[in-house]
Amino acid sequence: ATTAPRIPSTRLALHHFDTSYSLHLGALWPSVRAGLLCEQKYGALLNNFAAADHVPQQLELLNATDFICEAHQKAQQWQRGAEARGCQEGSGEGRTVMQAEMMAQAEVSPPLCASISSKIKCYTFPRGDITRFRPARPDSLGLLDYYLMDAASLLPVLALNVQPGDFVLDLCAAPGGKTLALLQTGFCGYLAANDISISRTKRLHDILHSYVPKEVRDIVSVTSCDGRDWDQVKGGTFHKVLVDVPCTTDRHSAMEEHNNIFHKRRTKERQMLPMLQLELLMAGILAAKPGAELVYSTCSLSPLQNECVVE
């Protein structure tokens, strides 16, 4: 063991991805693989609590755009185009088939909720532009003007579709980007942010104090429980539950040696991930009120960690 050449965890991860994802994604895998190995691009989530009305104009001058607003506009354009195509298809059975296809596509790709997308704004640079955002700056009260995060991390928050007064649970909340985004909606009547890691929960506390005024922090409860036991703490309580589970975190695993779950010493931990994810998902379901909505999300492409857990 001491003389055998040490294989980097990143190489083990990439070999695993090449073997499994090439089968799962087929012809898409080469382009997905290239994206996975590219430098990570960040989005700038605007802080609605900061006095920073000038920031959007500054970012737009740098050629950054609000990707949520863009997505909403594209969805509306697609919907209008689909309706126009449907009207041109004639009448009778042909039109009925076209309308059925339009409805099916609308169900698969619903437009973003207008009320949420008008409150959450996240600026990104265009495809191919790897310009970095400047560090966040404090306003006159000390609140930072935006939070740098992977823009894709906002998608589970948008999918959760929080409504005014909702009691919301973020079961695996740290380091805190999604928790902050949930508060940006302005709709949370109460927000429980939990993470099993005490050190990561400290980071969550720091983010809340840097971005959120005290009167808003008062509706947030931060805990460090094992999420699998949450139903024993507060079962059947929440209108919306976000279960963003620990996973293989594919980009990190392919790019970073530090804290890499593909390290040989963490093989058993990695193999047990789907069971952990299932237990967290079940705890999230039990924490929800009847008729509530839950979003399950990962940072992995693995069907074992996504579709199979949900099934």
The catalytic residues are 299
Is residue 176 marked as binding? yes
The partner residues of 194 in beta bridges, in order of sequence, read 223
**Which tokens in the block code for residue 215?**
């009167």
Sequence-ordered list of residues with C-beta below 8 angstroms from that of 132, at least 6 positions apart, any chain: 42
Is residue 113 marked as binding? no
Is residue 173 marked as binding? yes
**Which tokens in the block code for residue 249?**
């975190």
Longest dimension (CA), the chain: 76
**Which tokens in the block code for residue 2?**
């001491």
| Helix 9-25 × helix 29-37 angle, to 10° | 150
Q: Is the dihedral of CA 71, 75, 77, 78 positive or negative?
A: positive
Distance CA 173, CA 194 (A): 5
Is residue 145 marked as binding? no
Is residue 178 marked as binding? yes
Is residue 268 marked as binding? no
Is residue 291 marked as binding? no
Is residue 175 marked as binding? yes
Indicate the annotated binding residues for S-adenosyl-L-methionine: 172-178, 195, 226, 244
Indicate the annotated binding residues: 172-178, 195, 226, 244
